[in-house]
Amino acid sequence: MEAMSSAAGSSLTKIVAPARSFRGSLTVPGDKSISHRYALLAGLAEGTSRITNFSTGQDPHSSLACMEAMGASSKVNGRVTEITGTAGVLHPPSGLLDCGNSGSTMRMLAGLIAPHAGDFTMIGDASLTVRPMERIRKPLMTMGARIDLTDGHAPMTIHGGPLHAVDFEAPIASAQVKTAIIFAGLQAQGTTSLLEAVRTRDHSEHALRAFGAKLTRTGERLSIAGGQRLHAIDAAVPGDMSSAAFFLCAALLFADSNVVLDGLGMNPTRSALLDVITALGGTIKVLDVGEQHGEMAGTIQVNLGPRGLTGIDISGSLSAQLIDELPVLAAIGPYTRDGITIRDAKELRVKESDRIALVVKNLRAMGAEVVEHEDGMDIPGGQTLRGGVIDSGLDHRITMAFAIAALRAEGPTEILGAEAAAVSFPEFFDYLDELAIR
């Protein structure tokens, strides 16, 4: 990193210089998805949970703050976050529940709140306010919930009350929608079941079981009985695979790279990224692995294999499994030999930004040839990128993806709105400097 300066408004610009190699070891922050779920469930549970390595990102702390506003409490002792729950009763807050930039908070919390008496209004920042929330309201309303939206978006007001079980078939592959339904089902009358045609990440199932709930899965159908109570746990959050993705991709950019990631979450529903890294020419060695509360974690070593950086076509269920990692995979696409093609990823357009449009815009700003599609993009390989000015759209994954692309560019790259990285990975630029050999 050569400089940091103020850009328009409160935005920060990071200047990322090219690197000669990428080597070193690190422990990435606690998994954001798991931290969200532990915060929500610990806040509802009876007793005090002790969570080690809770995510340092802003989003899970939005979940924690919302639970505190409804009666939970928390304090930090070193690396341990202690969360004292409400013993199953959430109280209407004195003000608004601010979800910040976190769609995960708003969607999952809706299911947790809906069975509780009172009115709860959730708000978010400008980005969150334009993200789709109807996908949450529809299934919860079939369970008896009363929810108000504005043209399908936040603010979201929940008029809480008793819910009844439903049999629901998920129309889209979304772990957040699934979680909202099973969190509501946990507190509904009867047994709620969810048919999931495309298997999504299963952190919610593992977390619920850790807190004492019983769930069953038969094929594609997940079921949970209502009326269950949760109890506090002691747990350690594994390292975040989505955060690690940036360094896994950086390791593919240099022939002599060598990266070791410690304590990394290796949940099988998140491991598709490791398969893609291997398909792109990476070599991955698992040095150790263990398990706690159903979540796998271990140490891996990654470098570029003898085939070099090849290419890949990503579509279908793989796109859904990699939805958070697609921006950084696309950002290194020009450096591959055979290119990267992405399809069936229209969900990227309704994330913190329109990630398809921003990836295409920024690749072109670095001199790349790229073809945009409604549900993805075609990125030819064998291209040379030059340093350019990157519009992050204040989207954390766009910010970090193009910091990785900048490592192989010709000349320095300016990233506008680089403070967005703190949403999920406040330490990102420090770690990038530690591992980039210049």
Separation between Cα atoms, residue 266 and residue 273, nearest integer Å: 10
Do residues 57 and 37 touch, judged by C-beta distance below 8 A? no
Q: Which helix (H) or strand (E) holds 113?
A: helix 103-113
Can you read off the two tokens belonging to residue 339?
């290119």
- Report how far apart, in Å, the C-alpha atoms of 421 and of each of 39, 101, 317, 426 are: 21, 12, 27, 6
Please, which residues have CB within 8 angstroms of residue 123's CB and are 6 or more apart in sequence? 96, 97, 98, 99, 129, 154, 155
**Shortest CA distance to 269 belongs to which of 191, 343, 175, 188?**
175
Main-chain dihedrals φ then ψ at residue 130, nearest 5 degrees: -105, 5
Tell me the CB-side half-sphere exposure of residue 24, using CA atoms within 13 A: 15
Find how far residue 263's CA is from the centre of its chain.
18
Separation between Cα atoms, residue 14 and residue 213, nearest integer Å: 45
Please, which residues have CB within 8 angstroms of residue 9's CB and are 6 or more apart in sequence? none
Residue type, 42: A
Helical H segments across 252-387, by residue range: 272-279, 317-321, 326-331, 355-365
Active site residue 167: no
Do residues 281 and 308 touch, judged by C-beta distance below 8 A? yes
E strands within 67-130? Answer: 73-77, 80-84, 97-98, 118-123
Separation between Cα atoms, residue 52 and residue 207, nearest integer Å: 14
Name the catalytic one among 59, 240, 324, 391.
Answer: 324
| Residues with catalytic roles | 324
